[in-house]
A and B are shown apart, each in its own frame.
Chain A
Amino acid sequence: MNTSIWTDIFKYKKHINIIEILRDIPVFEGLSKLDLLKISKLLHLRQYKKDEFIFREKEPGESMYIIKSGSIEITKCIKKETVTLSSLEKGSFFGEISLVDSDSRSATAKAKEDTQLLGFFRADLMHLIDRNPRLASFILYQLSRVLGKRLRVLDASISNHHVPTHQ
């Protein structure tokens, strides 16, 4: 526990560090420093040990995570085999689908080493719609852009694999 409930003195400095990371996340792209500061106050900083699960497949998902330091591994159980989908480094983000729907997680995330993550919760995003609609709608727009990009990549990979047989 290096952060205590009672000390507020270095709070601003801590947020500046987080802002540097947030700036490069596509979901928060193009936001001003002040907006990023507001976002950083909503984030939950979590520490994970090596091999600790962040979330597991089919678990109810509530938040997106940003890697502050360390790295994580995304795996998925396909036909009873555990397949590694990708491994993510500092500055990457994952679990962003949970920001828009409450369905279960589509893959498992595990820490590859001691890792610090920033959690951004759907409930906080929904709450932000009331508090700061401009900021919230901008984030939702960026989020849908990210998801749209994913869809295009997926489309491309499907059409590469699957050649239609009928004319």
Chain B
Amino acid sequence: MFQLINKLSFIQKILFYAIFSIIAVSITYTLRDLLSPFLLAFIISYLLNPIVDRFEFICQKRILAVIALYGLIFSGIIFFFNFIIPLLLKEFNELSSRLPYYLANINEWLLVIKNRIEHDIPLIQQLNIIDNIETQTQSILFNFAQKIPTFFFSTFSAVSSILLIPIILFFFLFQGPDLKVSFFKIIPNKYFELLIHLFYSIGNKLGNYLRGIVTETLIIGGLTTILLLVLGVDYAFLLGTIAGIMNLIPYVGPIFGAIPAIIIFYLKVKTFNALFYITIGFVIIQTIDNIILKPIIYSQSVDLHPLAVLFFLLLGGSVAGIWGLIFAVPIAGIIKVTISILLNEIKFRIEFNEKYSLESSRTS
């Protein structure tokens, strides 16, 4: 196969690879539903691999390590479904039944703000800008509120995935190192070391990042829930979960996470003192996140300029919505690592080719 490719001319080679990649992409696209459990299992195996490695150090055998981990995970899932999920669902149902009340209040505020602005700047009234903004925000709020449950459950809706993922994951975890070695067999010698280096670098960064943000989400979600419970805010678990997940989005996420809690708390107690306390609480949690958690996570994974992070966030958000916002930073990190390694290699190859052609011209 490879000998055949080597005999082709440069243009033929490019054509061959182009057609090959088009076919590969189209097959992947048609089979995307089938591939998603594999992809998810692959990502989860990345997250869990270091834990399996630690367990393997204790148990000495990888299979025992994987079984021990599965035992732990399943007891965790049982706990999750018995205690956490019903709590979240209960709070969610209560919240959605009271949603019209909250929206009416928000509308009222908007109306007040609108009247004040129109009173101060009469010109705006003629332009109808405020009405437009109002209808826009309303539809955005409604859309957002309706999308929350689908956002949580759509990715895990397929029953087959739930059954398949643990099985696929088991093989990824148990045979991970062997599978890796088998996979690398197909790489031609010329690019072998480069690609393995690339694979390991990306894997390291991505793994560190994923593990980091999972820990961060759990800690921030937990701290927010504790804060809300202490202050006596309704739906503390649901709002804490939302704040934790929103925290995945850099810079803007924490604000989106805090706003619902602040609004709901204000509507309950209606004093500005309370508003002050809850805001201070969120600021303290964010400070902990930014001073202690974030430096640990980002230093080992992606070191990108804040402006670059912001740019990739906007790009990700406009291309793929919420998921785009969450995955923008790790993908940008991968691109950065790939470019820096490839540039190094290309630089070396150009220098080498120059030297080599110089030598051969001298000898001939």
Report A's interface with B, CB cutoff 8 A: 1, 3, 5, 41-48, 52, 54-56, 58-63, 77, 82, 104, 119, 121, 123, 127, 130-133
Give the CA-CA distance A133 to B54 in the complex, in Å.
Answer: 10
* A41 with B193, Cβ < 8 A, contacts A58-B352, A130-B54, A131-B53 known: no
With both chains docked as a complex, state the minimum distance between the C-beta of B137 and any C-beta of chain A, in angstroms. Answer: 50
In the bound complex, how far is the Cα of B306 from the Cα of A150, in angstroms? Answer: 47
Whether the pair B348, A59 counts as a contact (CB closer than 8 A) is yes
Which residues of B does A touch, CB under 8 Å? 1, 50, 53-54, 56-57, 177-179, 181-186, 189, 192-194, 196-197, 200, 204, 344-345, 348, 351-352, 355, 359
A-B contact pairs, 29 of them (CB 8 A): A1-B185, A1-B186, A3-B182, A3-B185, A5-B179, A5-B182, A5-B183, A5-B185, A41-B177, A43-B181, A44-B184, A44-B192, A44-B196, A47-B189, A54-B189, A55-B193, A59-B193, A59-B352, A60-B194, A60-B344, A60-B348, A61-B193, A63-B193, A63-B196, A121-B200, A123-B204, A130-B54, A130-B57, A131-B57
Closest-CB distance, A27 to chain B (whole angstroms): 19
Assembled-state Cα–Cα distance A49/B110 (Å): 75
Contacts of B1 in A (CB 8 A): 1
CA distance A72 to B183 in the complex (A): 25
Q: Between A and B, how many residue pairs show CB distances below 8 Å? A: 69
Given contacts A127-B53, A132-B56, contact A62 B193 (CB under 8 A): yes
Interface of A is mostly: mixed
The reply to whether B197 and A60 form a contact with Cβ atoms under 8 Å apart is yes
Question: A52: which B residues are within 8 A, CB to CB?
Answer: 189
In the complex, A46 Cα to B186 Cα: how many Å?
10
Q: List 18 other contacts, CB 8 Å, given A56-B352, A63-B193, A121-B200.
A: A1-B1, A1-B185, A3-B185, A41-B178, A42-B177, A42-B181, A44-B181, A45-B185, A59-B348, A59-B352, A60-B197, A60-B348, A62-B196, A63-B196, A119-B193, A123-B204, A130-B53, A132-B57
Are A123 and B177 in contact (CB-based, < 8 A)?
no
| Residues of chain B within 8 A of A1, CB atoms compared | 1, 185-186
Q: A123, B348: Cβ atoms under 8 Å? A: no
Q: Which residues of B contact A82 (CB under 8 A)?
A: 359
Q: Which 3 A-B pairs have the closest CB atoms?
A: A123-B200, A131-B53, A5-B182
* Bound-complex Cα distance A59 to B179 (A): 27
